[in-house]
Amino acid sequence: GTRFNVCSYPDEQLTEATIEEGKIGVYIAGKPNPVEVSPGQRMVFDKQSGEVLLKQVDTDLYTSWKENRLKFDDALFGDVVKKLERWYDIKIILDKDLKYSERYTMTIKAESLREVLKRLQITTPMSFKIDEEKVFIYPKK
């Protein structure tokens, strides 16, 4: 069978498909032929520009959520925050003065959101406040 992951949200510019096993063809509006995606490949479609990027990847980075793990490899802080929002089903609000150029390599298994945020504080000059269904992240004072 075919095992793959698709990541497509209306509020995001990119749509992604990552193939673990099998092969898929992705039809893109306005293009006559499908983009073929094979095992170990990730296809990224930019909805705005129409550009398609196909590259070899470690598929575990994109499919580990199926085994209740969230993996990051050299991921930007903003990308980590987006995935944490979905993983924990909570809105994370970043302070406009927060400088978040750090990159992260880590795996989240059974840690609570509070534990993950405390882990991020070790390498990021940030503080956080959890208020019911929202998390506020701001520069460390």
Strand, helix or coil for residue 126: strand
pLDDT at residue 123 in the model: 83
pTM (two decimals): 0.74
Regions in the chain scoring below 50 on pLDDT = none
pLDDT at residue 103 in the model: 87
The answer for residues whose C-beta is within 8 angstroms of residue 96's C-beta and 6 or more apart is none
Residue with tokens 């129409």: 50
Among residues 120, 38, 127, 42, the alpha carbon closest in space to that of 83 is found at 120
Residue with tokens 């987006």: 82
Q: What is the pLDDT of residues 83-110, one digit of tens each?
A: 999 999 999 999 988 777 778 999 999 8
pLDDT at residue 19 in the model: 94
Among residues 77, 75, 120, 128, the alpha carbon closest in space to that of 101 is found at 77
pLDDT at residue 97 in the model: 82
Mean pLDDT of the chain: 90
C-alpha to C-alpha distance for 42 and 20, rounded to whole angstroms: 9
Strand, helix or coil for residue 48: coil
pLDDT at residue 102 in the model: 79
Using alpha carbons, list the distances in angstroms from residue 38 to 4, 43, 47, 81: 10, 9, 21, 29
pLDDT at residue 135 in the model: 96
